[in-house]
Structure 1
Amino acid sequence: MSPMHIRNWSGNSDRPALALHCMMGNASYWAPIATQLADLVEITAPDLPGHGQSPDWPGDPDYHTHTTRETAPLIQRPLDLIGHSIGATVALRIAVAAPEAVRSLTLIEPVLFAAAPDPTAVDQLEAIRQLSVDGKDEEAARQFLSIWGEVDLDNQSPTSRSRLIRQIRMVVSGNDTLVHDSAKILRDGGLEAIDAPVMLVMGEESPPVIAAIAEALAARMQDVARASVPGAGHMLPITHPNQVAGLIRMNLEQS
């Protein structure tokens, strides 16, 4: 069993669901959504490696591969898989590798940049990577959070600030998969093999690359819907949990 710290919320025990959070978050933010969906599913959510109460990322293999390996043992039978940001890309990687394990798939702001290469997004990520390589993790974290975290690093407590700065190394490690698809998530026939209902959810005010990614993924999937939440950015499971829960519910009801 995965050593990650697991959070559980009571719900319909006959229908398990697994929710995977974003980079620099933790599983606790699924609580309002899990409560609203308790009549349909029972949600379990791990703190991903290096987050919340889970053990640190050991540094090898790359962060995305390590997280996928730690997550896969949590799937003991077909279930509803939900992911946000990098969590959505881990969910998609699992669904491509084992489509039979997925009853439904909800991808919230999947940051699989390789699906729709965008020079602006790639340049931003490269600048963040270079800052970290140069030992400037604090500035790297500040730039990352300003784009993808909707968080001001300078307004955080000393403990939170230190944690966020430390986590930028995981961001950099995961980007080889996200930008270059080193895990071959986009391989021929992979997305097409997912026959479960898929819902792609994005924030209306998210960076434009997110809509392009959603469009590229949707074009290759069998049973897919897309939804945009007005007034929301990248962190919509936290800022707009009611709307996100409603969209997940729609997808759950399709399966």
Structure 2
Amino acid sequence: MKDLSPVHVRTLGQGARNVLALHCTIAHSGAWSGLAAALEGEATLIAPDMLSHGRSPDWDGQGDFFDLATEAAVAQLTEPMDVIGHSFGGMIALRLAVEHPELIRSAVLIEPVFFAVAKQDAPDLMAKHDHEAQPYTDALAAGDMALAARLFNRMWSTDDSPRWPDLPERTRAAMVRGVHVVPAVEDVLFQDQKGLLSPGVLDRAAMPVLILSGSRTHPVMPVIAQGLQRRLPDAHCAVVEGAGHMLPISHPQDTARLVRQFWQDVGSR
């Protein structure tokens, strides 16, 4: 196994509940700061930076990126913990729940980008998504990472999100740095390369699961959430009103309220 010790890990908050927090593509572990503050006193978030993100080193293009990200996350599971994952981080969280159920007490999947679910359940909506994604897909294929990051960010933002020129240069540079991992996980997200949708596989994730979506997100995301709810043994969905795909960053208080209620419900069983 590749040495993952250089991966940077940030600790946020001070609470009795240890939570593994997995950020989305072209973000970093600091994206959990708002949620950690909203959960202050209840949870300690252990948040690794993926390779090519945050303070972790760049991915050298060798090996399977999804495997490397999953291995880095597993390294933080020193005891049974709760996990929260956003977007691609939600995919890592789902895989942890399937492959290491003894170490996952509960899982919160925030807008998990498991497009293979939508391809099965709503192929028309997936076709719409693919059409809208074509510009940044073309930019990636052309090697124009700056344009790809800009278009990728715009597609997953809402109308009132900051425009690309208004973002700090450091933020834009970080997005450009990380966007090259997007095509590296395409087969995982769109074709279910790891076989998570194979018969019986998701049954292994028997712990309580909460799947969160924003009410203003891309229409394919609720389809994925509902599809996972039907396929997982103990899952339910909730919606953060007024939020888009970036809901843990844009609506940390509302997200925290739903997460806190979920943990309370789990604890009362």
1:74 is paired with a residue of what secondary structure? Answer: coil
CA distance in 1 between counterparts of 2:171 and 2:44 reads 30
Asked if residue 5 in structure 1 is aligned to residue 16 in structure 2, the reply is no
Q: How does 1:1-255 map to 2 (within 5 A)?
A: 2-13=5-16, 15-117=17-119, 118-149=126-157, 150-253=161-264, 254-255=266-267
Per-residue deviation, 1:65: 2.2
Contact 1:198 1:225 in 2 (8 A): yes
Per-residue deviation, 1:30: 1.4
1:162 is paired with a residue of what secondary structure? Answer: helix
Contact 1:97 1:190 in 2 (8 A): no
1:116 is paired with a residue of what secondary structure? Answer: helix
CA distance in 1 between counterparts of 2:247 and 2:58 reads 26
CA distance in 2 between counterparts of 1:99 and 1:126 reads 36
CA distance in 1 between counterparts of 2:62 and 2:132 reads 24
Structure 1 stretches of 4+ with a deviation exceeding 6 A read none
CA distance in 2 between counterparts of 1:226 and 1:129 reads 30
The one-letter code matched in structure 2 to 1:122 is: D
Going from structure 1 to structure 2, the CA distance change for 1:35 and 1:154 (only over 3 Å counts) comes to closer
Contact 1:10 1:43 in 2 (8 A): yes
Contact 2:203 2:233 in 1 (8 A): yes
Per-residue deviation, 1:10: 4.1
Per-residue deviation, 1:116: 1.0
The one-letter code matched in structure 2 to 1:113 is: F
Per-residue deviation, 1:219: 0.3
TM-score (norm 2): 0.87
Contact 1:142 1:152 in 2 (8 A): no
1:103 is paired with a residue of what secondary structure? Answer: strand
Per-residue deviation, 1:211: 0.3
Per-residue deviation, 1:184: 1.8
Going from structure 1 to structure 2, the CA distance change for 1:36 and 1:140 (only over 3 Å counts) comes to closer
Going from structure 1 to structure 2, the CA distance change for 1:46 and 1:192 (only over 3 Å counts) comes to same
Aligned length: 254
2:15 is paired with a residue of what secondary structure? Answer: coil
Going from structure 1 to structure 2, the CA distance change for 1:196 and 1:10 (only over 3 Å counts) comes to same
CA distance in 1 between counterparts of 2:164 and 2:214 reads 22
1:245 is paired with a residue of what secondary structure? Answer: helix
Q: Identity percentage over the alignment?
A: 35
The one-letter code matched in structure 2 to 1:11 is: Q
Per-residue deviation, 1:172: 1.8
2:231 is paired with a residue of what secondary structure? Answer: coil
Contact 2:54 2:174 in 1 (8 A): no
The one-letter code matched in structure 2 to 1:120 is: K
2:196 is paired with a residue of what secondary structure? Answer: coil
The one-letter code matched in structure 1 to 2:86 is: H
1:202 is paired with a residue of what secondary structure? Answer: strand
Moved more, 18-27 or 114-123: 114-123
The one-letter code matched in structure 2 to 1:79 is: M
Per-residue deviation, 1:151: 4.9
Going from structure 1 to structure 2, the CA distance change for 1:34 and 1:166 (only over 3 Å counts) comes to closer
- Aligned-residue RMSD, C-alpha: 1.8
Per-residue deviation, 1:126: 4.9
The one-letter code matched in structure 1 to 2:18 is: P
